[in-house]
């Protein structure tokens, strides 16, 4: 993996002439986790899809650039709420999806190493339906790591998991994605309070930065400052709704 | 085996009941045998003519298997071709729909005229009747790949060919399976119609022959054989395609 660049998203978006979000600037610091928090329909996922170079419903006017001047979309790894595992392929085949889709040979050692790191060694030949929700997200995480991209986009990746599994996955993701520029789109204030080096609350009017605790991520689920930040974010969201 | 028997017993009981009613109607009403032969007579005729029936059934079976195989292959190839090219879809799809608007039955005399009374005209009938459900349902599946998979492939800089073989085709297999099941039901119809229009062998021919000579019992025996064959074919295709669908779970 090359040095992770910072990413800047600057612009506005409309859907069918109606405003999706006002002109905004979102800065993703290099090698850091940025959490984009907001309610449904404010365009969080649109921003993420724009960075990933995917099609969106919205018309975007503006610019998405990397701090090193390089291209953005080809250096992005993407992980969605739906784990998007191919049900007919084994765990190992799913993790090696990227090379398989490019027609490249799979680096066996790297594959084995990744499976070990996410704790799926014994499940290599299983089909996804034989796995639990948490295990499936581990496969998705390993698949993302297999791509070895410097910029990682997570679209509510853990929201379908139970509370305990979610916390475990957050810990694992922080450990394994260290050094990469990460954007997490979430509607969970707790997640943002645990994971964000920078936390942005998104509304149709734009972004509001909320200062997260100083502690290193992943912050303790029971740490006083994490809970205070979570409460603070919750207040922001509720004030917006009012 | 016992479990299969337990599962099948309502169907078996219903069949036995229907046969009993049939037998009772014939016995009580005294219908002449050339109008409605009793099941017992049909069974007897079937047994005494079993080799003749088997010979004709074999011909029909060959036509159906060839037609089903070729029709499915061509259908699959068409679907893949159309799925990968928007131009091909714009160009070919209307033609495809138009050909389906023509009843295949109406084509049977022409096909016989062109291809003769032999096997090929019947096989082509089967192919025509099988082709559309396979092509249409598989194409439908290929065009409905879950968008999330395609997004993921996009962020991986996937090659279109690999996306087709590793994602779109496997994701469409359940659709193909339902097309094949439908095709298996239609295929014997194609063969029999072909045989009606002009043939010297096959179950359809045997039925016409028996009918012309008022051997209604033989006609029923041939019809029954055709029915059993069709059911077995359907079950066979279902068993084959079940594996295809199960892999999707």
Residue of B nearest to A129 (CA): B249
If you measure CA to CA, which chain B residue comes closest to A145? B156
Say yes or no: A130 contacts chain B, CB-CB below 8 A. no
Q: Is residue A92 part of a domain?
A: yes
**Cα of B22 vs its chain's centroid, Å:** 28
- The first and second tokens of residue A124, run together, are 């290599």
Q: Which of B156, B162, B169 to mutate to test the interface with A (most CBs of A within 10 A)?
A: B156
Q: Which residue from B minimizes the CA distance to A103?
A: B162
Kind and range of the H or E run holding B187:
helix B169-197
For B167-217, what is each residue's pLDDT tens digit? Answer: 999 999 999 999 999 999 999 999 999 999 888 899 999 999 998 998 999
**pLDDT score recorded for residue B72:** 96
Q: Is residue A88 part of a domain?
A: yes
Q: A147: which chain B residues are within 8 Å (Cβ-Cβ)?
A: 155-156
Chain A positions in Cβ-Cβ contact with residue B151 (cut-off 8 Å): 49, 52, 54, 78, 80, 84
Give the residue numbers in B contacting A (CB under 8 Å), as ranges.
146, 148-149, 151-159, 161-163, 166-167, 170-171, 173, 247-249
The pLDDT of residue A242 is 60
* Contact partners, residue B72, CB within 8 Å, separation at least 6: B130, B134, B180, B183
Closest residue in chain A to residue B164, using alpha carbons only: A101
Structural domain count, chain A: 1
Let me know if residue A174 belongs to a domain: yes
Q: Is A88 on the interface with B (CB under 8 A)?
A: yes
A54 to B166: CB separation less than 8 angstroms, yes or no: no
Predicted confidence (pLDDT) at residue B233 exceeds the cutoff of 50: yes
Q: Mutating which of A88, A103, A130 best tests the B interface, going by the most B Cβ atoms within 10 A?
A: A88
Q: Does residue B43 surpass a pLDDT of 60?
A: yes
CATH number, domain at A83? 3.40.50.300
Instruction: Give the range of the structural domain holding residue A223, as residue numbers without chain letter.
Output: 7-26+33-241
Q: Which of A101, A102, A156, A183 to substitute to test the interface with B, most B CBs within 10 Å?
A: A101
Give the ranges where chain A is alpha helix by DSSP (H).
Answer: 44-52, 91-95, 97-102, 108-117, 133-147, 163-176, 189-195, 224-241
Per-residue pLDDT tens for B132-145? 999 999 999 999 99
Is pLDDT at B249 greater than 50 in this prediction? no
Give the pLDDT confidence score for residue B182 in this predicted structure: 92
CB pairs A-B closer than 8 Å:
66
Using a CB-CB distance cutoff of 8 angstroms, which residues of chain B are in contact with residue A97?
A: 152, 156, 166
CA A94, A95, A100, A105 torsion-angle sign: negative
Interface ipTM: 0.90
For residue B210, the SS3 value is: helix
pLDDT band for B246, please (50, 70, 90 cuts): low
pLDDT at B98: 83
Report the alpha-carbon distance of residue A203 to residue B10 in Å, rounded.
Answer: 62
- CA-based nearest residue in chain B for residue A90: B247
With CB atoms and an 8 Å threshold, state whether B156 touches A97.
yes
CB B190 within 8 A of CB B111: no
In a domain, A135, yes or no: yes
Distance between CA atoms of residues A171 and A217, nearest Å: 8
Q: Do B170 and A102 touch (CB under 8 A)?
A: no
State whether A87 and B249 contact (CB < 8 Å).
yes
Instruction: Tell me the average confidence (pLDDT) per consecutive run of 10 residues in chain A, 242 residues long.
Output: 86 89 91 91 90 92 93 93 92 95 92 91 92 93 93 91 90 93 94 94 87 90 91 86 62
Give the residue among A186, A208, A181 at the shortest CA–CA distance from A197. A181
Domain residue spans in chain B? 72-246
Q: Which of B148, B170, B247 sits opposite A80 (nearest CB)?
A: B148
Task: Tell me what pLDDT residue B48 has.
Answer: 94
The top-level CATH class assigned to B72-246 is: mainly alpha
Strand A76-79 and strand A7-15: the pairing is unpaired
Question: Residue A10 forms beta bridges with which residues?
Answer: A25, A63
Cis preceding-peptide flag for A218 (omega within 30 of 0): yes
- Nearest residue of B to residue A73, measured between CA atoms: B155
Q: Tell me the pLDDT band of B247, cut-offs 50, 70 and 90.
A: low
Evaluate whether residue A2 is within a structural domain. no
Interface membership of A105 toward B (CB under 8 Å): no
With CB atoms and an 8 Å threshold, state whether B158 touches A101: yes
Q: Which residue has the higher pLDDT, B40 or B248?
A: B40
Residue B248: predicted pLDDT: 45
Dist CA B124 CA B191 (whole Å): 9
Structural domain includes residue A1 = no
pLDDT digits (tens, 9 = 90+) for A45-83: 899 999 999 999 899 999 999 999 999 999 999 998 889
Mark yes or no for CB contact A100/B149 under 8 Å: no
- What span, in angstroms and rounded, lies between the C-alpha atoms of B220 and B215? 9
Task: Give B72-117 pLDDT, tens digit per residue.
Answer: 999 999 999 999 998 988 998 888 888 778 887 888 888 888 988 8
Is the Cβ pair B154, A54 closer than 8 Å?
yes
Q: State chain B's mean pLDDT as an integer.
A: 90
pLDDT value at position B197?
87
pLDDT for the residue B191: 92
Measured distance CA(B190)–CA(B106) in Å, rounded? 11
């Amino acid at each position: 993996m090359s040095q992770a660049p910072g990413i800047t998203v600057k612009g506005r978006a409309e859907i069918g002439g109606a405003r999706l979000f006002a002109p905004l600037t979102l800065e993703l610091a290099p090698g850091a986790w940025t959490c984009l928090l907001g309610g449904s329909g404010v365009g969080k996922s649109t921003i993420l899809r724009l960075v990933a170079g995917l099609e969106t419903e919205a018309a975007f006017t503006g610019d998405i650039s990397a701090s090193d001047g390089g291209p953005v979309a080809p250096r992005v790894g993407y992980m969605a709420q739906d784990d998007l595992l191919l049900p007919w392929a084994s765990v190992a085949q799913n993790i090696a999806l990227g090379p398989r889709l490019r027609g490249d040979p799979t680096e066996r050692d790297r594959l084995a190493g990744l499976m070990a790191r996410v704790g799926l060694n014994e499940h290599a030949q299983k089909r996804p339906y034989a796995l639990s929700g948490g295990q499936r997200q581990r496969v998705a995480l390993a698949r993302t790591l297999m791509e070895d991209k410097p910029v990682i986009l997570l679209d509510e990746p853990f929201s379908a998991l139970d509370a305990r599994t979610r916390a475990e996955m957050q810990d694992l993701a922080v450990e394994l994605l260290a050094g990469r520029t990460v954007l997490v789109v979430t509607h969970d204030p707790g997640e943002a309070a645990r994971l964000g080096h920078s936390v942005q609350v998104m509304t149709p009017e734009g972004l509001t930065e909320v200062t997260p605790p100083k502690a290193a991520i992943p912050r303790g689920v029971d740490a006083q400052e994490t809970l205070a930040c979570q409460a603070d974010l919750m207040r922001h969201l509720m004030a917006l709704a009012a | 085996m016992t479990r299969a028997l337990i599962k099948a017993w309502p169907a078996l009981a219903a069949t036995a009941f229907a046969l009993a009613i049939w037998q009772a109607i014939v016995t009580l009403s005294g219908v002449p045998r050339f109008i409605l032969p009793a099941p017992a007579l049909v069974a007897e005729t079937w047994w005494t003519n079993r080799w003749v029936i088997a010979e004709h059934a074999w011909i029909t079976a060959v036509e159906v298997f060839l037609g089903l195989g070729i029709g499915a292959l061509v259908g699959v190839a068409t679907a893949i071709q159309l799925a990968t090219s928007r131009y091909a879809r714009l160009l070919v799809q209307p033609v495809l729909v138009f050909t389906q608007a023509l009843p295949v039955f109406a084509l049977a005399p022409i096909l016989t005229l062109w291809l003769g009374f032999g096997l090929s005209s019947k096989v082509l009938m089967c192919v025509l009747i099988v082709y559309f459900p396979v092509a249409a349902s598989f194409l439908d599946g290929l065009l409905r790949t879950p968008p999330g998979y395609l997004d993921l492939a996009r962020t991986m800089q996937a090659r279109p060919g690999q996306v087709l073989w590793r994602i779109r085709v496997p994701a469409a297999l359940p659709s193909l399976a339902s097309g094949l099941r439908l095709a298996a039901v239609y295929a014997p119809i194609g063969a029999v119609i072909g045989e009606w229009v002009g043939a010297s062998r096959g179950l359809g021919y045997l039925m016409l022959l028996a009918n012309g000579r008022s051997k209604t019992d033989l006609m029923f025996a041939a019809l029954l054989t055709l029915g059993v064959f069709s059911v077995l074919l359907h079950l066979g295709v279902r068993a084959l395609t079940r594996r295809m669908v199960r892999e999707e779970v």
